[in-house]
């Protein structure tokens, strides 16, 4: 079986004006965008929390440089799954220099591929066939025309 040729990203890393809504979403609510991308790609919504916690942990340990692991791993996985050109070095550079732009680029890629989650709503329809309750006549009282409290029962006076 022949390998498929590698393709380019559907948009560049800094192509914010191709989809302004995505970039505004990313810059105003970065964690929300990261959660959306992670979920649409089929990963856990908790994955972007690694990007939030890792800088604090690495600073505590005295490590001078930290690559955000969630954006790096999702970017590499997305390149691998969709056959996009690139390298791990380029992914590291994108994650370190502008993680928000990397999340925006991945969001645009998923929108381009229409990878929104599919929601299937199943409804159980219960068909119950009920017979109307018999109308009871009370001796000494004439039946009055009108509706009885039970559906489907109508009493007519003679």
Note down the domain range covering 27.
Answer: 16-112
Kindly state whether residue 68 falls inside one of the protein's structural domains: yes
Domains in the chain, number? 1
Kindly state whether residue 148 falls inside one of the protein's structural domains: no
74 phi/psi in degrees, rounded to 5: -70, -40
Kindly state whether residue 145 falls inside one of the protein's structural domains: no
Kindly state whether residue 129 falls inside one of the protein's structural domains: no
Closest among 8, 7, 27 to 16, alpha carbons compared: 27
Query: pLDDT tens per residue, the chain (158 residues)?
Result: 557 788 899 888 888 888 787 777 777 787 888 888 999 998 888 888 887 777 777 777 777 667 888 899 999 999 999 999 999 999 999 988 888 889 889 999 998 888 555 555 666 766 666 666 565 555 555 555 554 455 555 555 55
Helix axes 69-82, 30-40, angle to 10 degrees: 40
β-strand partners of 84: 7
Predicted TM-score (pTM) of the model is 0.64
Kindly state whether residue 75 falls inside one of the protein's structural domains: yes
């Amino acid at each position: 079986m022949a390998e498929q040729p590698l393709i380019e990203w559907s948009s560049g890393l800094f192509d914010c004006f191709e989809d302004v809504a995505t970039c505004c979403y990313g810059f105003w609510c970065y964690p929300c965008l990261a959660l959306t991308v992670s979920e649409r790609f089929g990963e856990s919504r908790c994955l972007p929390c690694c990007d939030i916690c890792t800088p604090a942990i690495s600073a505590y340990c005295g490590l001078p440089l930290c690559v955000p692991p969630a954006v790096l791993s999702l970017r590499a996985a997305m390149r691998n799954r969709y056959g996009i050109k690139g390298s791990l070095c380029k992914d590291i550079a994108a994650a370190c220099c502008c993680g928000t732009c990397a999340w925006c680029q991945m969001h645009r890629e998923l929108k381009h591929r229409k990878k929104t989650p599919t929601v299937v709503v199943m409804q159980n329809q219960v068909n119950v066939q009920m017979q109307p309750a018999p109308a009871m006549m009370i001796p000494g009282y004439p039946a009055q025309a009108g509706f009885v409290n039970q559906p489907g029962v109508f009493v007519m006076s003679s």
